[in-house]
Amino acid sequence: MSATLTFPVPMTSTSRFVVAGRTIPKNLPALAITHATDAYRSHITGRLGTPQLALAREPAGLRWDPRRLKAVHPRHRAAEATLHRACEFAVVTAFGPITDQPRGVQVARAAAYSLARAIDGVAADLVTGHIFYTADTEGLSTERARFVLADQWLADALPPVRSNGRCTAADPDQDPEGVNGCSCVRLLTSGLRRFGLPELAISDVACPHDVAALNVLRTTARRLLSDHWSWLATGPATRTRAMDANLTLSATDFDGFWGSTRRDHSPAPSSFQVRLTSITPASSRSPHRTTSTARSTTGSGPAPSPQACTTSSAPPPTKTYTPSPTNQPQPRNPAPASLTPTQLQPSPPPQQPPLAQSQVSTAAPAFSRSRRHR
């Protein structure tokens, strides 16, 4: 019998986005509608005034700490400082059934984009803890009509190069045989819970394989999300979902993360498997605090349970639970799933051994060709 992973699925989800600027006008609904794109204007108009879309002015520090909002890209450091200094924000809240996703959060983020453009401000996601719009944003500056997971929904990014200089393993350029001499890389998602899924983590990866590990994490997230929406579409009577802990991923899943299709004519790489397991918490820690084995990249501290709502503050730390057989009581909240790649067939150069600790090859099939991060 194959291993299974069981987790509760919340009935509702709450997401919040914040906008900061020189001043926050009082007529937020009118601004959101006026500056909305054609794809979302009618959606914003129809949802305003309902729990599905609420706009409000809110002073800093009452329910969340703006200092926990971070800029992923160096070019957004000035925007990060603007958020940290702001005394008042426009807060966009989307509350609705989990089956309303992803359309519900897309409409809410589209409203946040509209407000940020209207006041020449900065917009951030309180679930991921990341800035997603500034006045000088390059690339995506509006919400796409179709959902693409790569559009800053996961808060996934590469860690500092060689663990900010703390990695003591030999440089792979100097010592190819020591390419797997460390296990510095640990990556976490922050954002899947708003869709009713546990967050993902992959750890104990050597520094030279950080890009491959990141792309394995992204590919797994996209596959889980597709399967999850298919499961929700069946109208399940139970709010607990059991799924196979062993997943077979392919280049199609990776392309799905980016919302693209393969444009070259090179042969598609072989599929590979990953195994999902629950992360065990430290028994002495509160279930609402991060543990030493799964530390959030966007801050730590008490946070409301995602079972009732996704978040009402800056991104909460990843929750962890002790793995338990399916015949034992399951935790109330979705446990983060630890990702263990079990088979990668990239046909690496003969002189490079496979990565022993995480079993991630030097270059994952089709995945090492991707962008590092946005």
Domain boundaries, the chain: 4-8+154-343, 12-133
CATH class of the region 12-133: alpha beta
Q: Which of 93, 109, 99, 111 is nearest to 51 (CA)?
A: 93
Prior bond to 97 cis, omega within 30?
no
Task: Say what the pTM is.
Answer: 0.74
pLDDT per residue rounded down to tens, the chain (374 residues): 578 999 999 999 999 999 999 899 999 999 999 999 999 999 999 999 999 999 999 997 778 888 889 888 887 888 899 899 999 999 999 999 999 999 999 999 999 999 999 999 999 999 999 999 987 765 567 899 999 999 999 988 887 787 777 788 877 777 777 778 888 889 999 999 999 999 999 989 988 889 999 999 999 999 999 999 999 999 998 889 999 999 999 988 999 999 986 655 556 667 889 999 988 654 333 322 222 223 333 333 333 333 322 223 333 343 333 333 333 333 344 555 666 544 333 333 333 333 233 333 333 333 443 344 44
